[in-house]
Structure 1
Amino acid sequence: MLGFVRTDNNALVACLGDPQRTVAAYRELLRRGTDAVRAVRAGLHDEDPAVREGCCRLLDHLVDIESMDALVTMVDDPDPRVRIAAFHALACDRCKGDTCAPGADRVLDPALRHLATDPDRHVRARAAELVGKFAHSDARAAAALQRSRAADPDPAVRKKAGWFAPGGTIHERTLPPDARRTRSGRTRDS
């Protein structure tokens, strides 16, 4: 099957670090779904950053409540590719319902820290997405996005932070219904 010598979940997770096998291993682990989550979670501790990155990407789709703390820990990984994948997995709601989406109490502080200080511009951009999820409900998030929009050394990060900052296109599009009513005296639907 798949041209692998071993096809157990742990062996497939290890193949995430092999450029020749990573795509097939990723697809098979994704297909196995919740049966693979335990091995994927264990792969977050692999010494190979490509394996850790692949596991973060998999958890974007396979995440469960038990995996959330492990993903939060990965935002401090020494490899920027792993941090990027972890921030994406924490910010992306497309593959997860509200049942396991992380709250500000778990993810906002690390996201704020990385938005302000991470040396990698791509990590800061992903952190802006996660901070942006809380821009309507937490003044620290809104202020951090405004600072990043004004002062980040990278123009792409400034642009992304601006989208999520108050007045930005994504911020305005994601206004809660109560805030829309307050601004216009009525909802957009009326």
Structure 2
Amino acid sequence: MLGFLRTDDEALVSCLGDPQRTVGAYHELLRRADGALDAIRAGLAHPDPAVREGCCRLLDHLVDTDSMPQLIEMADDPDPKVRIAAFHALACDRCKNDACAPGADRVLEPALRHLATDPDPQVRARAAELVGKFVHTDAAALAALQTSHAQDPSPAVRKKSGWYAPGGTIHRRTLPRALSCTPKQARRPG
């Protein structure tokens, strides 16, 4: 099966670090879903950063409430690719239900810290996505995005932060209904 000598979950997690086997291992672990979660969580502590990155990418799709604390810790991984994957998994709502989507109390502090100080611009851009989830409800998130939009050394990070800051396309699209009005409504006399 899959051309692997061993196909148990732990062996497949280790194969995430092998460029020749990573795609097959990733898809098989994704197919196994909840049955592979214990091995995927254990892979977050693997010495190979490619394995840790692959586990973060898998948790983007398979995350549950038990995995969330470990995924949050991965935002401080020494490898930038792992941090990028962790921030993406924490910010992406497509594969998560409301029950396991992390709240600001759990993820905003590391996102703010990395948006302001991470040496890797791709990590800062992913952190901006996570901070942007809270821009309508948290003053620190709003201030951080405005600062990043105005001052980040990377044009790509400034651009992404601008999408989430007031006036940006994502900011407008995610504006809570009570706070938004259509241009036609804004022009109507009182």
Is the pair's TM-score, using the shorter chain for normalization, greater than 0.5? yes
RMSD: 1.4
> Hey, what does 1:145 align to over in structure 2?
145
The superposition leaves residues 99-139 of structure 1 with CA deviations (integer Å, 9 ceiling, x where unpaired) of 11000000000000000000000000000000000000001
2:83 corresponds to 1:101: no
Give the distance between the partners of 2:4 and 2:82, measured in 1 at CA.
25
Give the distance between the partners of 1:7 and 1:32, measured in 2 at CA.
11
1:178 aligned counterpart, secondary structure: coil
1:65 aligned counterpart, secondary structure: coil
Unaligned runs of 5+ in 2: none
> Hey, what does 1:72 align to over in structure 2?
72
Q: Report deviation, 1:97.
A: 1.3
Moved more, 81-90 or 92-101: 92-101
> Hey, what does 1:112 align to over in structure 2?
112
Q: Report deviation, 1:92.
A: 0.2
> Hey, what does 1:83 align to over in structure 2?
83
User: What amino acid does structure 2 have at the position aligned with 1:9?
Assistant: D
> Hey, what does 2:175 align to over in structure 1?
175
Off by >6 Å, runs of 4+ in structure 1? none
Give the distance between the partners of 2:100 and 2:184, measured in 1 at CA.
33
Give the distance between the partners of 1:127 and 1:38, measured in 2 at CA.
26
1:31-46 alignment to 2 at 5 Å? 31-46=31-46
> Hey, what does 1:27 align to over in structure 2?
27
User: What amino acid does structure 1 have at the position aligned with 2:21?
Assistant: R
Q: Report deviation, 1:50.
A: 0.2
> Hey, what does 2:53 align to over in structure 1?
53
Unaligned runs of 5+ in 1: none
Give the distance between the partners of 1:184 and 1:22, measured in 2 at CA.
52
Give the distance between the partners of 1:184 and 1:68, measured in 2 at CA.
43
What is the aligned length? 186
User: What amino acid does structure 2 have at the position aligned with 1:171?
Assistant: H
CA 1:184–1:115: 2 relative to 1, 3 Å:
farther
Give the distance between the partners of 1:182 and 1:139, measured in 2 at CA.
24
2:153 aligned counterpart, secondary structure: coil
TM-score w.r.t. the length of structure 2 is 0.95
The superposition leaves residues 135-161 of structure 1 with CA deviations (integer Å, 9 ceiling, x where unpaired) of 000010000000000000000000000
Give the distance between the partners of 2:38 and 2:185, measured in 1 at CA.
50
1:53 aligned counterpart, secondary structure: helix
